[in-house]
Structure 1
Amino acid sequence: FPGLATPTFAARHNASIVYKQWFPGLNTAFGATYSFQSPRPYNDPNRPGFNQMRTPAYHDLSINASYLTNLWGNFTILYVSATNLPGFEQVYGYQFGEEAGADGTFPSRAITPPARHFLFVGLFINFGKRYRASETTKEDL
């Protein structure tokens, strides 16, 4: 590095707002998370200086649910989560070509996730333990 530099993966500010709620009548916990990261530095070889550019700010709004039940007499959790519900554009950085083009600039492309949204569905079975709703408290979750 030509001098002191902030790593390209380090955002100056990070914040998360998390909400979780247990609904005993439904045997289900619901949650939502909003995450923010301030822009991260990156080096653009087409401009003078080092690590002089910034990515867009990172935003994510995700939701999840956990349903507690029994399957075949075993304690079971059905878990569902969905990320980036509003479809925010998430740019982690930029990749530049190794050689300048005919116009003297290095071609670039944004490094983004392979999909704007992600859905996860999981089934967790605890063999040998039965679920009893009357024995579950908010602290267990």
Structure 2
Amino acid sequence: MTIKQKIQTVELADGRRIEVRRLKWKATRAFLAQLGGVLSGLFKGIGADVTALEVTVAEMADRLPELIAGSDELIVSLVTGATALKAEEFGELDALEASEILAAAIAVNLDAELKNCWAAIGNTIAGLIPAQSLPTAVKGKTPTS
């Protein structure tokens, strides 16, 4: 397997070129921790029973761009991890420039290759968890009685 670094370049109005790359592993872990906090708050906020939700990893991955775009903390974490921009620099950009950089960061860091990799990891881990056995009969009774 050959892994290539994905890079998208966004040209700003002043001529600067911003390279947007995949997050480093350390930044990815921090981003995922922040994302987990946002998701937890989202589920608690709507009163959802997380254990009763039937959402696949792929479905969650498809909704991530929308979720990230709605959270300033996640936006800044993703953009500063994927570019050489500091949070203050990013905050001073024109709205369109910031949006283009965010779109590139989402495209590079949530592409099909990474989503498929994360889905495979999730499915492998799920396969390691033993299924709870269901009782086939109540003690003292048979299924036909």
Same fold, judged at TM 0.5 (above): no
RCO comparison, higher one (Cα < 8 Å, 6+): 2
TM-score in terms of structure 1 length: 0.25
Larger helix fraction of residues: 2
Q: Between Structure 1 and Structure 2, which shows a larger proportion of strand residues?
A: 1
Structure of higher CA gyration radius: 1
